[in-house]
Amino acid sequence: MLNRLTDSLDFQGQALALRSERQRLIASNIANADTPGYQARDMNFAQALREATGAAPGRALAGTAAGHLAGQTGARGEPQLLYASASQTNLDRNTVDMDRERASFADNAVKYEATLRFINGNVRTMLEAIKGQ
């Protein structure tokens, strides 16, 4: 019964964990904007969320023998990281495009906050229901 209350929070929780993961990735890109040879990284958020919530088969290793450890599932597992290609050629082979990274960072921050509000709304709804006035 109680898990039915928290099931709806689970999806948003996974989304929140992935958002913070992506925030960290973009922060790494911005930090390495001047590092020679650094390749900017990013994730396909929609795909990662599908894998984290089990809507798509994850990339966890298949257990074919009894002794095999199960791969981590959910946002705790590692999402597939992609490499960004350079939008302008650079002599130092750095592929960080600051405009793109700043835009992604702002976009991700807003969406992180949106997810927080969804969770807050969900919690408020449940508390309202529990009060039962």
Partner 1 sequence: MSMMNVFNVSGSAASAQSERLNIVASNLANADTVAGPNGQAYKARQVVFQTEMMGSTGAAGVTVSNVTESSAEGRRVHDPKHPGADAEGYVTYSNVNAVEEMVNMISASRSYQNNVEVMNTAKTLLLKTLQLGQ
Binding site for partner 1 (CB under 8 A): 16-17, 20-21, 23-38, 41, 78, 81, 98, 102, 105, 109, 112-113, 116, 119-120, 123
What is the rounded distance in angstroms from the CA atom of residue 112 to the CA atom of residue 132? 31
The minimum distance between CB 88 and partner 1, in angstroms, equals 16
When the beta carbons of 7 and 34 are compared against partner 1, the nearer one is: 34
Q: Judged by CB, which is closer to partner 1: 66, or 127? A: 127
* β-pairing verdict for 81-83 and 41-43: antiparallel
| C-alpha–C-alpha distance, residues 50 and 108, integer Å | 17
In the complex with partner 1, which residue's Cβ is closer, 61 or 81?
81
Query: Closest separation between CB of residue 95 and partner 1, Å?
Result: 12
C-alpha to C-alpha distances, 50 to 4, 8, 14, 44, 127, nearest whole angstrom: 20, 15, 10, 10, 29
Give the residue with the Cβ less far from partner 1, 17 or 64: 17
- C-alpha 11: how far from chain center: 12
Q: How far is the CB of 66 from partner 1 (least distance, A)?
A: 28
3-state secondary structure at position 100? helix
